[in-house]
């Protein structure tokens, strides 16, 4: 079939709607004999019936396997250059106590970015020495708690913070290991990276100011300097940005060795995943090999040993392992004039919703128009803010059945009072998609649950972990009582009358 002219150039109509591209879907996703999608051996219609929709579903084996693969990849790559590696799971991607336990069981440490995330990690029973704390504006209480419980590392983000962490270490009679976050001037986007003298952003200390900051850290008996840290961005496919950052940091790292031990270099997270079929993300082994080869080569030039390498991926570990399941509530065809539409000159006219520029022979739609089908689901920007926040692309599949009906271009919209409330901007679904169908959006394991809100007082969905044919709720869904629980007067008989 031809593409709908409203469709972006990267989106190709599927030859077979039933196929679930392996690089986008969880490792244990498949179509059952009935045509429904199953994940971890559990059919999605069964999950919807038991737990309702919207529903976050996470393939436990896939998430854990990605964690152990990442550790193995960086450990092997570091060993090839005579060094070691430590992998922190970036909890901001998706944190709950069960996921923390999976990560720790697979040998990863945990990176937290607030007192709340620290509380979740501690509630999971993680040994505090395996935790790292980030943040450009950690409160005094957050620093005090982190130092008090004995977190393994605090990533210092400003000169002011050095004194705050040192004071907490003194109060608790501890020597607190710290890293120093550097604003390397390298920022990477998915397909490009930018390298400047200094990036205009809130995180870290400029390269030029770092020697003074490290001298101040070293002057405090209660602080132990571990090394430099940099995080250059998110959803990065090309390794060049990491290589440039590593290059810049290692020059400084070598200089700092003159004043004392610098055992580690932390290159952050940000490795990209495939959200749609056309995305080609490198395997984590490729990323690890390229990074370590570059680090080793620069270290060779500088005449220094390869330090222990730390990384902090979140998205690559949980992102592809999760899907969100929705029920379709309404569908609506919207006629769009093609004037000014990017791919309008694709000029095809084979009926259905793909008429462009030619007379329409099967309805009374004006020529020069095309149809976009809006498929509205029972969630939206409250369970997945990424499309609205960043214009992120996703794909979608019919989850409750298979269909042989020709695909149509759809936009999956949420149920919020915002026109920007889009879950999947452009995708193809079978033309008979209808109310009551279940649809699943893959690659939603990272930054969906963690960015969820109660906008329009929608209850946040449950998270269900699936594995070997069994499903377990690992975070329960919110109820109406949860929604009203913080409203002081909602349940009070003693309501103060308005003046
Ligand atoms: C400092 C730091 N480390 C690690 C990460 C994890 O990034 P990702 O989930 O893209 O791997 C982030 C994400 O924003 C971050 O800010």
Pocket of ligand 1 contains residue 372 by CB under 6 Å? no
- In the numeric block, which tokens belong to residue 246? 């590593």
* Residue ID of nearest Cα to ligand 1 atom 16: 231
Q: What is the pLDDT of residue 364?
A: 65
The number of the ligand 1 atom at minimal distance from the alpha carbon of 229 is: 1
**Ligand 1 center from residue 231 Cα (angstroms):** 7
Find, among 106, 104, 94, 105, the residue nearest to 68 by Cα: 106
- How far is residue 216 from each of residues 100, 150, 166, 262, measured CA to CA in Å? 34, 21, 10, 15
Q: Which residues are catalytic?
A: 417
Pocket of ligand 1 contains residue 312 by CB under 6 Å? yes
**Ligand 1 center from residue 269 Cα (angstroms):** 5
**Ligand 1 center from residue 448 Cα (angstroms):** 14
The number of the ligand 1 atom at minimal distance from the alpha carbon of 134 is: 1
**Ligand 1 center from residue 89 Cα (angstroms):** 9
The number of the ligand 1 atom at minimal distance from the alpha carbon of 316 is: 11
Residue 193 sits at φ, ψ, to 5 deg, of -135, 160
Q: What is the pLDDT along the chain (499 residues), one digit of tens a residue?
A: 667 899 999 999 898 889 999 999 999 999 999 999 999 999 999 999 999 999 999 999 999 999 999 999 999 999 999 999 999 999 999 999 999 999 999 999 999 999 999 999 999 999 999 999 999 999 999 999 999 999 999 999 999 999 999 999 999 999 999 999 999 888 887 667 777 767 788 999 999 999 999 999 999 999 999 999 999 989 998 888 999 999 999 999 999 999 999 999 999 999 999 999 999 999 999 999 999 999 999 999 999 999 999 999 999 999 999 999 999 999 999 999 987 554 444 433 333 454 443 434 455 667 889 999 999 999 999 999 999 998 999 999 999 999 999 999 999 999 999 999 999 999 999 999 999 999 999 999 999 999 999 999 999 999 999 999 999 999 999 999 999 999 998 877 666 666 7
Collect all residues with Cβ–Cβ distance below 8 Å to 158 and sequence separation of at least 6. 136, 205
End-to-end CA distance of the chain: 66
Pocket of ligand 1 contains residue 210 by CB under 6 Å? no
The number of the ligand 1 atom at minimal distance from the alpha carbon of 155 is: 1
CB 451 within 8 A of CB 460: no
pTM over 0.75: yes
Q: What is the pLDDT of residue 495?
A: 66
Mutate to test the pocket of ligand 1, among 117, 314, 322, 448 (most ligand atoms within 8 A of CB): 314
* Residue ID of nearest Cα to ligand 1 atom 5: 269
């Amino acid at each position: 079939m031809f593409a709908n002219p409203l469709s972006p150039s990267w989106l190709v109509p599927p030859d077979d709607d039933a196929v679930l591209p392996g690089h986008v879907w969880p490792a244990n996703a498949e179509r059952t004999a009935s045509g429904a999608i199953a994940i971890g051996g559990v059919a999605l219609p069964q999950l919807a019936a038991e737990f309702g929709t919207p529903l976050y579903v996470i393939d436990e084996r896939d998430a854990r396997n990605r964690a152990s693969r990442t550790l193995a990849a960086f450990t092997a790559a570091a060993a090839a250059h005579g060094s070691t590696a430590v992998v922190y799971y970036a909890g901001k991607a998706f944190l709950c106590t069960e996921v923390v336990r999976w990560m720790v069981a697979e040998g990863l440490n945990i990176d937290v970015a607030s007192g709340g995330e620290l509380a979740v990690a501690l509630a999971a029973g993680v040994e505090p020495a395996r935790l790292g704390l980030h943040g450009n504006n950690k409160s005094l209480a957050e620093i005090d708690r982190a130092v008090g419980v004995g977190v393994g590392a605090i990533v210092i983000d400003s000169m002011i913070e050095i004194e705050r962490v040192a004071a907490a270490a003194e109060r608790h009679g501890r020597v607190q290991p710290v890293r120093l976050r550097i604003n390397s001037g390298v920022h990477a986007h998915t397909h490009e990276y930018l390298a400047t003298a200094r990036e205009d952003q809130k995180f870290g200390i400029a390269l030029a100011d770092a020697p003074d900051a490290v001298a101040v850290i070293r002057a405090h008996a209660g602080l132990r300097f571990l090394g430099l840290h940099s995080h250059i961005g998110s959803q990065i496919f090309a390794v060049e940005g990491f290589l440039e950052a590593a290059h810049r940091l290692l020059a400084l790292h070598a200089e700092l060795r003159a004043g004392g031990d610098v055992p580690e270099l932390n290159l952050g997270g940000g490795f990209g995943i495939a959200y749609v079929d056309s995305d080609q993300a490198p395997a984590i082994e490729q990323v690890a090999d390229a990074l370590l080869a570059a680090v080793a080569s620069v270290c060779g030039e500088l005449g220094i040993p390869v330090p222990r390498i730390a990384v902090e991926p979140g998205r690559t570990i949980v992102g592809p392992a999760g899907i969100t399941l929705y029920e379709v509530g309404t569908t609506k065809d919207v006629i769009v004039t093609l004037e000014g539409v990017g791919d309008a000159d694709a000029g095809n006219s084979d009926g259905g919703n793909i008429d462009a520029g030619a007379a329409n022979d099967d309805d009374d739609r004006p020529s020069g128009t095309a149809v976009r089908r809006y498929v509205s689901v029972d969630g939206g920007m409250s369970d997945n803010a990424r499309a609205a926040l960043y214009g992120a692309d996703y794909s979608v599949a019919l989850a409750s059945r298979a269909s042989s009906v020709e695909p149509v271009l759809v936009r999956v919209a949420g149920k919020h009072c915002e026109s920007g409330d889009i879950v999947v901007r452009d995708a193809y679904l079978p033309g008979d998609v209808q109310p009551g169908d279940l649809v699943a959006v893959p690659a939603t394991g990272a930054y969906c649950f963690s960015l969820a809100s109660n906008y329009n007082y929608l209850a946040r969905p449950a998270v269900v972990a699936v594995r070997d044919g069994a499903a377990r709720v690992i975070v329960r869904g919110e109820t109406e009582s949860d929604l009203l629980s913080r409203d002081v007067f909602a349940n009070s008989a003693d309501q103060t009358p308005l003046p």
